[in-house]
A and B are shown apart, each in its own frame.
Chain A
Amino acid sequence: MTDAVKRDRGLLKIDDQECKGCGLCVEACPPRVIALGEHLNHYGYRTAVYAGTGCTGCGICFMACPEPGAITVMRAVANRAAAAAIMSTGQEGSPSCASN
């Protein structure tokens, strides 16, 4: 990654074995960066996929998702030391409440 590319504030990880493709996260995502994928997973679901850019790390998709760990939301940190500090204190606040 170079300085020229603007880094996203957030990043999404979707577990395509836990996701059941209900689509609630797609509906919930304020910047609309989640879609249902084209291919079926092992259980026959079209699971959610992240567009790859545009995530703000708001966490709203996480709250809308019925599965405990299908979505993991990450947020960019200024540097590695700060990242380590956040990791050691656990999760950071509640998601902001932008409406869809």
Chain B
Amino acid sequence: MSSEQFSEYTVVHGRAKSFYERYDRKPELQHQTHFCPGCGHGIVHKLLARAIDELGIQDRTILVGPVGCSVFTYYYFDVGNVQAAHGRCPAVATAMKRSRPAGIVIGYQGDGDLSAIGSAEILHAANRGENITIIFVNNAIYSMTGGQAAPTTLLGQTSTTTPEGRSATTEGYPLHVSELLATLQGPVYIERVGLGDNKQIAQANRAIHRAVENQVKGLGFSLIEVLSPCPTIWKMSAVDSQHWVRDVMEKTYPLGVFCDRTKEAQPRRLPPEPPSLEAIPAILDIVNDDSAEASSAANKATKPIDLHVRVAGFGGQGVLLLGEVLAEAGLEAGLEVSWLPSYGPEMRSGTSNCHVRLSDETIDSPLVTAPNILVAMNEPSLRKFDKSVRPGGWIIYNGETFPTDCVRNDVHVLALPFTQIAHELGSARAGNMVMLGALLEVANGLPQSSIDAALRRLVRNTKWFELDELALSRGRELFRESFQEV
């Protein structure tokens, strides 16, 4: 054809601007995609690139690619690209859209990716009505991994995992994702299209354009399911697989619009601006390093400390809070600390215990297997841990009398009815703080100011804060009284 002849014609359909001219893949293959001949993904890519061109959004489009045959969207689309873990595209797209509200975020997913491993993510993104666009390519099989059955595999369709054909008895029924999501209130637009013939492709082209446009208008969640041929795994010619989409697949998956709220949808309001990075410590009530330094100067531990504490009792006795106040006070005092709770699934009445370490040195392990202080809030807890206490260590026991068979001559014991004492102070629930008061006398080295600061942070209610302070000092007193007598 002479160049003169071409000059009388003008290009009406050619490579979309949103595609790269050459692809950054294997050197010899940079001018063609990695898709098999006749693959539906290639066509869907093309329709999508076209929509991006037509809407003039190339420079603000972020494409979230899936795991599956279409994993390499970033080779082809000259837009922002992120590749998500298998099935997690809607979650990643949500984050992208929320942090870049002006971006046009398009998720591209296969049927294995979306309807199997990613079924939860798509459901909730749709239900939240995230203002994103999902292109869902349904080829009724896991193609990339060699043809295992997907939730979308047709009844009777053979695959490597359903060699006799999919049976409803053993594999359940083909999952109708579009119909399912259309029952939710969140989505704005859901349509199923096909690539089964020219007419279907033209409709797919319009639907994909529309789904992206909805997002440009800020209307909300749109999903287009595309029934798409996979000649290689289906073991058919490209043309036969195209016909199979129209003649067979479409019977299970009827085409059409399943949800269209574009007329009544209002442009969604942007989510509130997230707080700045600098504001976060204050929101989380974390003192910044400078002031921590300042406070620790005042609260500094007065002597070397190496505490291995185990606190044990029933759930609801304040076991974990006792440990937390101790660890928090250690932090205030500039020590290395760890606090490790360990409890059963019951909120109340189960047993519960925690491991607390406070040290001047780096802590190697947060586990306290040989405590130098055991706080046992009841007899079963005592019996569970008493043997583990180090020689020379302490047992603080919540009970009037210490069980004689637990007596060891190499550990110190303080046994008092702490719950009863707390009850007399105002509430039996402050028993843990009376015990902590006694413990602080044993540990002796944490300044009261660091305890006060820790308690203030963890106990917000003034009434309880005051009672706990009272309980702490009562505990300290009781310890001193007990051991003056000795």
Task: Tell me, yes or no, whether A2 is within 8 Å of chain B by CB.
Answer: no
B39 at the interface (CB under 8 A from A): yes
A-chain residues with CB within 8 Å of residue B49 when the two chains form the complex: 68
Least CB separation from B21: chain A residue: A69
A18 to B14 CA separation, bound complex (whole angstroms): 13
Q: Which A residues between 67 and 81 are near B, CB-CB below 8 angstroms?
A: 67-77, 80
| Nearest CB of A to B449, in Å | 69
- Chain A residues near B36 (CB-CB < 8 A): 20
B interface size (C-beta, 8 A) = 44
Whether the Cβ atoms of B37 and A45 lie closer than 8 Å is: yes
Decide yes or no: A74 and B12 within 8 Å by CB, A23-B238, A23-B239, A66-B46 being known contacts.
yes
**Segment 208-259 of B: residues with Cβ below 8 Å from A:** 231, 237-239, 242
* Bound-complex Cα distance A67 to B198 (A): 16
Q: Chain A contact residues: over half helix, strand or loop, or mixed?
A: loop
8 A Cβ contacts from B57-108 to A: 76
| Known contacts A59-B12, A74-B6, A80-B7: A66-B198 contact under CB 8 Å | no
Choice from B10, B38, B199, B242 contacting A74 with Cβ under 8 Å? B10
| Contact residues of B between 157 and 211, Cβ < 8 Å to A | 197-199, 201-202, 205
Q: For residue A96, which residue of chain B has the nearest CB?
A: B202
Residue of A nearest to B11 (CB): A74
A→B interface (CB under 8 Å) = 1, 7, 10-11, 15, 17-18, 20-24, 26-28, 30, 45, 57, 59-60, 62-77, 80, 83, 86-87, 91-95, 97-100
Whether A69 and B37, one on each chain, are in contact in the complex, defined by CB atoms closer than 8 angstroms, is no
The answer to whether residues A73 and B32 also contact, given A27-B239, A97-B202 and a CB cut-off of 8 A, is no
Question: Is B8 engaged at the interface, CB distance under 8 Å to the other chain?
Answer: yes
Bound Cα distance A64, B201 (Å):
7
In the bound complex, residues from chain B placing their C-beta under 8 Å from that of A75 are 9-10, 12
Q: Across the interface, which residues of B come within 8 angstroms of A20, CB to CB? A: 32, 36-38
B367 proximal to A (CB < 8 A): no
Q: Which of B13, B16, B31, B76 contacts A73 (CB 8 A)?
A: B13
- Provided the pairs A23-B38, A100-B198 are in contact, do residues A72 and B11 lie with their beta carbons within 8 angstroms? yes
B384 close to A (CB within 8 Å): no
Chain B residues with CB below 8 A from A59, complex form: 12-13
A20-B35 Cα distance, complex, nearest whole Å: 10
Interface residues of B in 39-58 (CB under 8 A from A): 39-43, 45-47, 49, 53
